[in-house]
Amino acid sequence: KMSPNQDEKDESTTTTTTTTQPLNDDSTTQIKPSSSATTTTTRRRPRRIIRRNKNTKTSKDPNEIPESLTQNSALQTAISTSLPSDYDFEILKTIHRINTSTSTHVALQLPEGLLLYATTLADIFRTFCPTVQNVSILGDVTYGACCIDDLTAQSLGCDLLVHYGHSCLVPIGETVVKCLYVFVEIRVDVVHAVDCLCQTVEEGTLVFVMGTVQFRTAVVEASKLLNERNYPSKIPQAKPLSPGEVLGCTSPANLVHDDNFKSLNNNNNSDDIVVTGRNKVMFFLADGRFHLESAMISNPTLRALRYDPYSKTLTDEVYETQKMKSIRFQAIQSVSSTNEDNKKKTFGVILGTLGRQGNPAILSQIRKLICSHGHASFVLLLSEIFPSKLKLMEESVDVWVQIACPRLSVDWGHYFNKPVLSSYELHVALGEAEFEEVYPMDFYRVGSGKWTNYHDDNRQRKMMA
């Protein structure tokens, strides 16, 4: 017998010494008596199930902004009086990140549309971040998240880079300094935007809602409101981008074949509604059309309507997709013909150095591809590509291949004297890929070809041997 309380012994009770040995992971324990005992007892210890109260914090969230910031009246006054109320610069989150990382030298990188707020942001961080000694503003042109300039920040001795206005394209694990992305979400009159659309297209039209990352919250709100008004809507996604986010080089494709729409107005758990033969449109929230053009190239048969949150206007946008494809196909064919005549050609491979535009892994792969077809190549580093610059070297070059932005070839390729191909177009020219019916806008899309950044061979962004 086992005493229920080892501190209290009954003289009439014989105490047996036992040893325990665990059998397996299911908390079953076998009790083995000593030689003086004559029986073996198997006992299953009851499992203890502890249900933690969701409202009870067992540990402090390191990302939670402390009250010393949220209740700081001086900080709130500085934000409200010096920055526009419709722009969310996420000041509290940024200060908390600076304080927790004890950064002393912070670099700020903003696109030109936000650059006028750079000195204001610098003043706020110098005032309310005790560890900050210096704030540097990176003034080079920033076209997108691919231009994140952690290398310059490192050369300046910065220990944190805050990048504004874009999403995270280059994984933070690949940057040489710690980076923080601030989307700078902008408040939009979503009701007015939806009103404009509903007055333009007939009820029941299937709507794909997209936009730039600054309007991602507005995209979600617009989609819900459209569903409530009997305009079935969907927010498409080109992973790893956020739902509805579109880049100038990457966008959701083949939406015309997507007939699965989820009803959001009454039942969030409802099944997908399958509809066919209905009108479909793209509803895009952005102040310019560069990003929209990417979605239009990926979906050439869909009508595109763009709502400008600043002018509060809705415009019917058109893109000459067939003309663009014809021009690009001619450039590809001019290179394909030179590849077929068995003459050795010289390829100038341009690696974009504007931030992280150029991927060294793609560079290595392209040079090996060119070599395998019996041609020569050399590498040219350029932050920006202009016809006048390439003209200086064109006598010794037969074909240019640029690893910077595919839209440089699409939008400006016909301005150059020699063909300027994107990495995708080179694969087509050398017979390694097909010229697709729908021109791919997939430079940062997961699951695409060898010419893209998220292909398995290119993710690490490192030169291959």
**What per-residue confidence (pLDDT) applies to 59?**
60
For 16-30, 70-84, 130-144, which range has the lowest pLDDT when averaged over its residues? 16-30
**What per-residue confidence (pLDDT) applies to 374?**
93
For the cut 60, the answer to whether the pLDDT of residue 262 exceeds it is: no
Give the DSSP letter of residue 393: T
The residue that leads in pLDDT, 353 or 338, is 353
**For the chain, what is the mean pLDDT?**
86
List, for residues 96-113, the tens digit of each pLDDT value: 999 999 999 999 999 999
pLDDT winner (highest mean) among 21-30, 42-51, 335-344, 400-409:
400-409
* Cβ atoms 340, 373 nearer than 8 A: no
Secondary structure of residue 253 in the 3-state scheme: coil
Q: Which pLDDT band, with edges at 50, 70 and 90, does 94 fall under?
A: very high
- The residue whose two tokens read 């007015």 is 192
**Share above pLDDT 90 across residues of the chain, in percent, rounded to a whole number:** 74
List, for residues 285-298, the tens digit of each pLDDT value: 999 999 999 999 99
Do the strands 134-138 and 28-33 form a parallel or antiparallel pair, or are they unpaired? unpaired
Phi-psi region of 374 (alpha: psi -120 to 50; beta: other; left: phi over 0): left
The residue that leads in pLDDT, 54 or 19, is 54
Give the DSSP letter of residue 442: B
For the cut 80, the answer to whether the pLDDT of residue 422 exceeds it is: yes
List, for residues 366-419, the tens digit of each pLDDT value: 999 999 999 999 999 999 999 999 999 989 999 999 999 999 999 999 999 999
For 32-36, 244-248, 303-307, 439-443, which range has the lowest pLDDT when averaged over its residues? 32-36
For the cut 90, the answer to whether the pLDDT of residue 343 exceeds it is: no
How crowded is residue 198: how many other Cβ atoms within 10 Å of its Cβ?
A: 17
For the cut 50, the answer to whether the pLDDT of residue 350 exceeds it is: yes
For 52-66, 100-114, 258-272, 418-432, which range has the lowest pLDDT when averaged over its residues? 258-272
SS3 percent helix, strand, coil of the chain, rounded to 5, is 30, 20, 50
The residue among 349, 340, 336 whose CA lies nearest residue 427 is 336
**What per-residue confidence (pLDDT) applies to 3?**
43
> Per DSSP, which regions of 70-118 are E strands?
87-88, 105-109
Contacts of 201 (CB under 8 A, 6+ apart): 207, 231, 279, 281, 305
**What per-residue confidence (pLDDT) applies to 459?**
80
Give 236: exposed, middle or buried? Use CB within 10 Å, 0-12, 13-18, 19+: buried
Residue ranges of domains in the chain, CATH in brackets: 1-41 (no CATH), 67-186 (3.40.50.11840), 190-317 (3.40.50.11850), 325-429 (3.40.50.11860)
Do the strands 280-285 and 206-211 form a parallel or antiparallel pair, or are they unpaired? parallel
How many whole angstroms separate alpha carbon 193 and alpha carbon 312?
7
List, for residues 123-182, the tens digit of each pLDDT value: 999 999 999 999 999 999 999 999 999 999 999 999 999 999 999 988 888 899 999 999
Contacts of 220 (CB under 8 A, 6+ apart): 235, 243, 244
**What per-residue confidence (pLDDT) applies to 19?**
40
* Cβ atoms 445, 305 nearer than 8 A: no
**What per-residue confidence (pLDDT) applies to 54?**
54
**What per-residue confidence (pLDDT) applies to 324?**
98
List, for residues 197-242, the tens digit of each pLDDT value: 999 999 999 999 999 999 999 999 999 999 999 999 999 999 999 9
Q: Which pLDDT band, with edges at 50, 70 and 90, does 34 fall under?
A: very low
Secondary structure of residue 318 in the 3-state scheme: coil
Rg, C-alpha atoms of the chain: 30
